[in-house]
Amino acid sequence: MNILVLGGSRFFGKRLVQQLVKDGHDVTVATRGQRGLDSLGGKVFQTIVDRSDLNAMKLAFGGRPFDVVYDQLGFTPQDARIAAEVFVGRIRRFVFTSSMAVYDSSEEVLSERAFDPHAYSLDLTKDSYSYKEGKRQAEAYFYQYAPFPVAAVRPPFVISSDDDYTGRFAFHVGKLLNREPISLAGSADVSFVAADELAAFMNDIGTKSDYVGPINASNTGWMDTERLTRTIADLLGATPIFADAAEEKSPYCIGETLRLSNELARSIGYAFQPLESVIERLIREMKEQGGQ
| pLDDT, tens digit only, all 292 positions of the chain | 999 999 977 788 899 999 999 999 999 999 987 655 555 655 789 999 999 999 999 999 988 999 999 999 999 999 999 999 999 999 999 999 999 999 999 999 999 999 999 999 999 999 899 999 999 999 999 999 999 999 999 999 999 988 788 889 999 999 999 999 999 989 999 999 999 999 999 999 999 999 999 999 999 999 999 999 999 999 999 999 998 766 778 999 999 999 999 999 999 999 999 999 999 999 999 998 874 4
Q: Give CA–CA dist 9/38, Å, rounded.
A: 10
What's the pLDDT at 35?
A: 58
In the chain, the domains with their CATH numbers are: 2-156+194-216 (3.40.50.720), 164-191+221-257+274-289 (3.90.25.10)
DSSP the chain: -EEEEES-SSHHHHHHHHHHHHTT-EEEEEE-SSS--TTT-SSEEEEE--TT-HHHHHHHHTT--EEEEEESS--SHHHHHHHHHHHTTTEEEEEEE--GGGSPP-SSEE-GGGS-TTSSPP----S---HHHHHHHHHHHHHHH-SS-EEEEE--EEE-SS--TT-HHHHHHHHHHTT--EE-TT---B-EEEHHHHHHHHHHHHHS----EEEE---B--B-HHHHHHHHHHHHT----EE--GGGB-TT--S--BEE--HHHHHTT--PPBHHHHHHHHHHHHHHHT--
pLDDT at 292: 46
pLDDT score at 249: 86
Query: What are the two backbone dihedrals, phi and then psi, of residue 8, each rounded to the nearest 5 degrees?
Result: 100, 15
